[in-house]
Structure 1
Amino acid sequence: MTLVEHYDTGTDENTRLTRSPHGRLEFRRTQELVRRTISGAGRRVLDVGGATGVHARWLAADGHSVHVVDPVASQVAEAAGIDGVTAEVGDARALTWPDSSADVVLLMGPLYHLTESADRARALAEARRVLRPGGVLFAAAISRYLSAMETGTNGQLAERLSPAVEAVIATGRYDGHAGFVPAHFHTADELRGELETAGLSGISVYGVEGPAWPALDVAGIEEFDARVDAAVRCARMVEQDPLLINASAHFLAVAVN
């Protein structure tokens, strides 16, 4: 199944950040980290790989002008129906926006879906091209340790699965063994290095969910409200700790053009 087929027929992107405890934690922390950096309103935001507009919706509600670019036509049509949001079918590696035209670029999905380093470099180069001087890039990535932490906590890390989990830790190449499509999983240092190579500056890499996220999933959605405040405090406490940052399921890198 291709990436477009997966998102067009195989998944409900609207519920990805609400249907599981760790998804809800990811969404809450992503909003927190983005708003911490771009307070106020009135930014021109290009949401690359923005799918159905899950992030575009709240950014537009915050008073920003948001344009979604995504390769899946059905998701683009849905995003375009959100007040304050425009959308187009496109590719992170070849954006249609002119140079220095965006205040903010979001890459919330392309860096893990682009499994070849050359393609990730092209996407980062395009993001930098369309950003104005001083503009801000937010780039999300999946941790190489996600699969080990998830399957080790939920009881699914059987002997037959161990080689695949060890391989993604060693190489970053995820084969889909725990669900999802094949993807590239980063370390925090690798993500930082890719942004540095792209010529971006002022780079900060944050662990989004912190180390408590697998326990939230095991406890179940009915326990989320009782446990989430502690999980968020834990995530904030170690969000840039070099010894624990890779225990997050996702990273969010923030950089300046």
Structure 2
Amino acid sequence: MAAPGIRWSGAGARCTIRGVLTPEIMDYYRQGGERDRLAAGAGRLEFLRTWDVLTRVLPDPPAAVLDVGGATGVYAGPLARAGYQVHVVDPVPEHVADAAERPGVTAVRGDARTLPVADRSVDAVLLLGPLYHLPVRAERVAAWREAARVVRPGGVVVGATISRFASLLDGFVWDYFSDARFRPLVERALADGVHRNTDADRTWFTSAYFHHPDEPAAEVSEAGLILRRRVAVEGPLWMIGARLPEVLADPGRTDLLLEMLRAVEDEPSLFGASSHLLTVASAPHR
């Protein structure tokens, strides 16, 4: 059953599953790591900052939000509790099952490039994961374009990207360079953004695309959306590594951290140092 206000396109014909994710990416996510990834350490900071931004850019509830690549519903659940009508589309069956168990959330398998949702039927679209795993630019633009198709005129689209420089910095924060296999992954990502990890060892992130901070704006424009702002999610503070859980365990220090990051979230010189970047766009008032 679809969430109220979110209309399916005819017979689900636009829903294409086969070939959405490469085998190593599908295998990575089917291990269940997304259930807890945003609950501790750098993941906790990513969640707190992303949620902080969403509360400021999304329309007021009970707006209809389509959470594309919403995984286990980590954001969909809180959004539903806040009064939003939330529907998750994700290619991983285990993610869909987990998300659908959250109160007020519906979920279905689907592809960000061919969404099974009717034109202009939602108030906001979240792309908080799909852009990581589309190494071909035309396919990333297709995901943005699909978001533009299903969102109502003036509606909001928020996309998350991983920084081109994240693996280089991560390698020193967590000493990944001590493993000789890691350096070639970093060098390839720096050259063309493609982080190609087919190794069964999941010490590092699975195969992905790491954006240069300037790329999302051009993708948004080509998809027919209007760029509103770019936001550094964690800034460089995720690089304090092992000390981060200590900071986040203290409510006062956490509030200070969030306040300070909010003050510099639009500073372009910090975009490349942030592990993640949010690009906020809107559909034209057609």
TM over 0.5: yes
Percentage identity across aligned positions?
Answer: 43
Q: 2:106 aligns with which of 86, 90, 109?
A: 86
DSSP-derived class of the 1:243 partner: helix
Cα distance between partner residues in 1 of 2:244 and 2:55: 28
Partner of 2:117: 97
DSSP-derived class of the 1:13 partner: helix
Partner of 2:78: 58
Count matched residues. 254
Tell me how far 1:158 sits from its aligned partner.
Answer: 4.3
Q: 2:249 aligns with which of 225, 232, 244?
A: 225
Residue 172 of structure 2 is aligned to residue 152 of structure 1: yes
Give the alignment of 1:1-257 within 5 angstroms. 1-8=23-30, 10-19=31-40, 21-38=41-58, 40-158=60-178, 160=180, 161-176=182-197, 179-215=204-240, 217-219=241-243, 221-226=245-250, 227-257=253-283
Cα distance between partner residues in 1 of 2:271 and 2:227: 18
Cα distance between partner residues in 2 of 1:230 and 1:187: 29
Q: Any idea what the Cα deviations from partners look like across 1:142-166, whole Å, max 9, x if unmatched?
A: 0111112211223333494444323
Cα distance between partner residues in 2 of 1:220 and 1:137: 30
**2:227–2:279 CA contact under 8 A, matched in 1:** no
Tell me how far 1:136 sits from its aligned partner.
Answer: 0.4
Cα distance between partner residues in 1 of 2:171 and 2:24: 25
Tell me how far 1:106 sits from its aligned partner.
Answer: 0.5
Distance 1:24 1:38, change over 3 A: same
Cα distance between partner residues in 2 of 1:231 and 1:170: 33
Distance 1:119 1:202, change over 3 A: closer
Task: Please give the TM-score of this superposition, normalised by the length of structure 2.
Answer: 0.83
Structure 1 unpaired stretches of 5+: none
**1:210–1:231 CA contact under 8 A, matched in 2:** no
Letter in 2 for 1:228: T
Tell me how far 1:125 sits from its aligned partner.
Answer: 1.1
RMSD of aligned C-alpha atoms?
1.9
Q: Any idea what the Cα deviations from partners look like across 1:122-141, whole Å, max 9, x if unmatched?
A: 11111110011011001000
Cα distance between partner residues in 2 of 1:232 and 1:17: 16
Distance 1:159 1:83, change over 3 A: closer
Distance 1:56 1:110, change over 3 A: same
